[in-house]
Amino acid sequence: MNKVPFVNKEQIEEIVKTYPTPFHIYDEKGIRENAQAVKEAFAWNKGFKEYFAVKANPNPFLIQILREYGCGCDCSSKTELMLSKAIGATGSDIMFSSNDTPAEEFVYANELGATINLDDFTHIEFLEKTIGKLPETLSCRYNPGGVFKMSNGIMDNPGDSKYGFTTEQLFEGFKIMKEKGVKNFGIHSFLASNTVTNEYYPMLAKQLFELAVKLRDETGAHITFINLSGGVGIPYTPDKEPNDIRAIGEGVRKVYEEILVPAGMGDIAIYTEMGRFMMGPYGALVTKAIHEKHTHKEYIGVDACAVNLMRPAMYGAYHHITVLGKEDAVCDHKYDVTGSLCENNDKFAIDRNLPQIDKGDYLVIHDTGAHGFAMGYNYNGKLKSAELLLQEDGGVKLIRRAEEPKDYFATLDCFEIFKELGSK
Ligand SMILES: *Cc1c(COP(=O)(O)O)cnc(C)c1O
């Protein structure tokens, strides 16, 4: 597959007249088409709801777009809850899937009427003590341990992950919760990350549906929803095919009809908490080549750095790069594309074959719509970039301004000298 950016050179040259690089830009058309496809793929399930994983991209303007397609918010912290509330998502529009949760965050989630998804057996008692009485609807995160295998060899290692209840804890937990007055139960599980295959959700669903039948039979719990959580991936590299959400929805429907319907559980709602799949491909980091360096290797220095996109530095993640205006040029140069942090892992690409890059060229770093800007930080005193929305009509809207020095100094207002810097 040839990865083509959703913006071209002419558009970027126009945009930078108002908004200098670096910035993240998002593709409204792509976001909408994908959200519609997700909605249609699961339309067979009456209670279906996608709770967008806010952590993947906490920009309220983008989440508002998803809200138009019926999406709720999956939150894991107080500020994410506050953000959701501010854009009108409360009550059953919020899934609170957190872990190692501070008491005050449970209190706030409960105040908002969010559906709480417990990460641990001990949180049953912790939640009860914290808010007085368990809510009528409560969900538990399940972790069967072991490894999760699929036919194409992709797997993940739930046995190594910090999340969720064991099988025994789940059965015991449901019994206790039922005694304590919980009426509606949910099961949640996230067993593999960034799965670029249509198999993951159906396989996970089968496992959870079978579990749901057993849980109902053994504990008498009334299970009202099953949350397949996140993990549906996107192809970061050009050799991979994107997932087909309609095939995924059909796959889940098939096992639903095989397992839940015959068990008399055909009213269970399917929830998802996709982050990456909803937003990842529809964001790009646009940056300018400002230096070239010829030493032991060939380096291109750009005006973005790992604070704008941490995934390559943190996980060695691949993000495709297009040099605007040179889409069809031969990739006969091998570069390390670097940012300016005083950290040698601040590289967007290592030994990447690209066309010859000249100073002033604009580079589009693909697939930054999820876990991109969101993971930003301020190391080396670097400031976070602006976020722009490329609207369906081709117009561009600022949806988050770039940080300024005053933002960096704002939390030092306990010092007289910084009070002044923080207010400028
Ligand atoms: C990160 C996360 C998600 C989103 O995962 P993606 O892989 O981005 O889809 C969903 N739910 C929970 C609880 C998460 O921690």
Q: Is the CB of residue 370 below 6 angstroms from any atom belonging to ligand 1?
A: yes
pLDDT tens digits, 296-353: 999 999 999 999 999 999 999 999 999 999 999 999 999 999 999 999 999 999 999 9
User: Does ligand 1 come within 6 angstroms of the Cβ of 190?
Assistant: yes
Q: What is the pLDDT of residues 190-216, one digit of tens each?
A: 999 999 999 999 999 999 999 999 999
Is ligand 1 within 6 A of the CB of residue 137? no
CB distance 375 to ligand 1 below 6 Å: no
Q: Which pLDDT score, from 0 to 100, does residue 421 have?
A: 78
Three-class secondary structure of residue 111 per DSSP? helix
- Assign residue 176 the CATH number of its domain: 3.20.20.10
pLDDT digits (tens, 9 = 90+) for 72-96: 999 999 999 999 999 999 999 999 9
- C-alpha closest to that of 283 among 149, 190, 377, 376: 376
Tell me if 204 CB under 6 Å of ligand 1.
Answer: no
For the chain, percent of residues with pLDDT exceeding 70: 99
CA of 85 to the centre of ligand 1 (A): 20
Q: What percent of the chain has pLDDT over 90?
A: 94
Please count the other Cβ atoms lying within 10 Å of the Cβ belonging to residue 149: 12
Please tell me whether the overall predicted TM-score, pTM, comes out greater than 0.75 for this model. yes
pLDDT over 90 (residue 58): yes
For the residues 243-258, what does the mean pLDDT come to? 98
Query: Once rounded to an integer, what is the mean pLDDT over residues 7-36?
Result: 98
Which pLDDT score is estimated for 151?
A: 80
Per-residue pLDDT band at 44 (split at 50, 70, 90): very high
With a 6 A CB cut-off, is 274 part of the ligand 1 pocket? yes
Given this model, what pLDDT does residue 1 score? 66
Residue 422 has pLDDT above 80, yes or no: no
Q: Is residue 201 part of a domain?
A: yes
Mean pLDDT for 156-177 is 95
pLDDT at 396 > cutoff 90: yes
pLDDT, mean of residues 19-42: 98
pLDDT exceeds cutoff 80 at 423: no
Q: Whose CA is nearest to atom 13 of ligand 1?
A: 97
Distance 285 CA to ligand 1 centre (A): 21
Alpha carbons 252 and 236: distance in angstroms, whole number: 24
The reported pLDDT for the residue numbered 413 is 87
Q: Is residue 239 part of a domain?
A: yes
Q: Does some domain include residue 130?
A: yes
Residue 407 lies in a domain: no
The domain containing residue 221 runs over which residues? Answer: 29-279
Give which of 99, 165, 50 is closest to 116, Cα–Cα.
Answer: 99
Over residues 106-135, the mean pLDDT reads 98
Average pLDDT, the chain: 96
Distance (angstroms) between ligand 1 centre and the Cα of 381 equals 29
For residue 58 and ligand 1, the question of a CB distance below 6 A is answered with: no
Question: Is 390 inside any structural domain?
Answer: no
Q: How many separate domains does the chain show? A: 1
In this predicted structure, what is the pLDDT of residue 155?
Answer: 76
pLDDT exceeds cutoff 90 at 417 = no
**Which atom belonging to ligand 1 lies closest to the Cα atom of 233?**
7
Cis peptide before 22 (omega within 30 of 0): yes
Asked, for residue 157, whether it belongs to a domain, the answer is yes
Residue 314 lies in a domain: no
The answer as to whether 51 is a domain residue is yes
The reported pLDDT for the residue numbered 424 is: 63
Does the Cβ of 164 fall within 6 Å of ligand 1? Answer: no
Per-residue 3-state assignment (H helix, E strand, C coil) for 29-87: HHHHHHHHHHHHHCCCCCCCEEEEEHHHCCCHHHHHHHHCCCCEEEECCHHHHHHHHHC
